[in-house]
């Protein structure tokens, strides 16, 4: 019986001495997820809060023939140009945000990713009807220690989608979905 009590006491001691789990990456992810959700809502409503971006922010542009990276001022101009011509709406509901990892350590780092279907609409004019298409898009956001977005990028065939939306091919006048 003494052996049993000794083993039980030793087990409790070993468990009690275990280091507390580091939950900081998950806490950063939860906080940064709120920033991403607000950013996406702002993009849909054409009103992004750019104060969530760091001064050294870089947008990794993956489009064919584009610059490989854009500054925050470049991205603001790109956003304004797109909003002037198109309406954007996330169709994926609920939107699931995923934790990202540091590419060197492969450990969770508070960055945020998502996969979603975006509907992009070219509004009607006096001479044309509205035209819409849906694109599957993957986007990621990397944050600094102050919770500011330092890097953002995404992958989806916007070139093909914009070609469709701006084309005058009468055979494809039905909405692409």
Q: Is the bond into 94 cis (omega within 30 degrees of 0)?
A: yes
Q: How far apart are CA 111 and CA 100, in angstroms?
A: 5
State mean pLDDT over 50-59.
Answer: 97
State mean pLDDT over 11-39.
Answer: 81
State mean pLDDT over 131-148.
Answer: 97
Looking at residue 47, its pLDDT comes to 96
Looking at residue 132, its pLDDT comes to 97
Q: For residue 20, how many C-alpha atoms fall within 13 Å in the half-sphere facing its CB? A: 3
pLDDT band for position 66 (50/70/90)?
A: confident
Summary mean pLDDT of the chain: 88
Looking at residue 74, its pLDDT comes to 95
pLDDT band for position 170 (50/70/90)?
A: low
Token code pair at residue 101: 């990892």
**Residue 131 confidence (pLDDT) above 80:** yes
**Residue 6 confidence (pLDDT) above 90:** no
Looking at residue 62, its pLDDT comes to 83
Reported as a single tens digit per residue, the pLDDT across 143-162 is 999 999 999 999 999 999 99
pLDDT band for position 8 (50/70/90)?
A: low
State mean pLDDT over 43-70.
Answer: 91
Tell which residue, 50, 74, 41, 46, has the closest CA to residue 60.
74
pTM above 0.75, yes or no: yes
Enumerate the H helices of the chain as residue ranges.
2-16, 24-44, 72-85, 158-166
pLDDT band for position 142 (50/70/90)?
A: very high
Per domain, the residue ranges of the chain are 24-171
Q: Does domain 24-171 have CATH number 3.10.450.50?
A: yes
Residue 131 CB contacts under 8 Å (≥ 6 apart), including other chains: 121, 122, 164, 165, 173, 175
Looking at residue 12, its pLDDT comes to 64
């Amino acid at each position: 019986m003494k052996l049993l009590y000794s083993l039980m006491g030793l087990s409790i001691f070993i468990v009690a001495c275990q280091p507390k789990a580091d939950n900081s990456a998950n806490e950063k992810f939860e906080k940064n997820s709120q920033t991403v959700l607000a950013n996406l809502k702002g993009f849909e409503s054409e009103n992004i809060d750019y104060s969530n971006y760091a001064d050294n922010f870089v947008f990794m542009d993956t489009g064919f023939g584009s610059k490989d990276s854009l500054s925050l001022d470049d991205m603001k101009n790109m956003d304004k140009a797109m909003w002037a011509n198109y309406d954007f709406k996330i169709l994926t509901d609920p939107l699931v945000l995923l934790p990202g990892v540091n590419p060197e350590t492969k450990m969770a780092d508070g960055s945020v990713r998502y996969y979603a279907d975006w509907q992009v609409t070219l509004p009607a004019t006096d001479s044309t009807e509205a035209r819409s298409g849906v694109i599957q898009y993957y986007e990621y956001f990397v944050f600094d220690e102050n919770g500011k977005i330092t890097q953002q990028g995404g992958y989806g065939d916007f070139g093909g989608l914009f070609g469709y939306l701006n084309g005058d091919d009468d055979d494809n006048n039905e909405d692409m979905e």
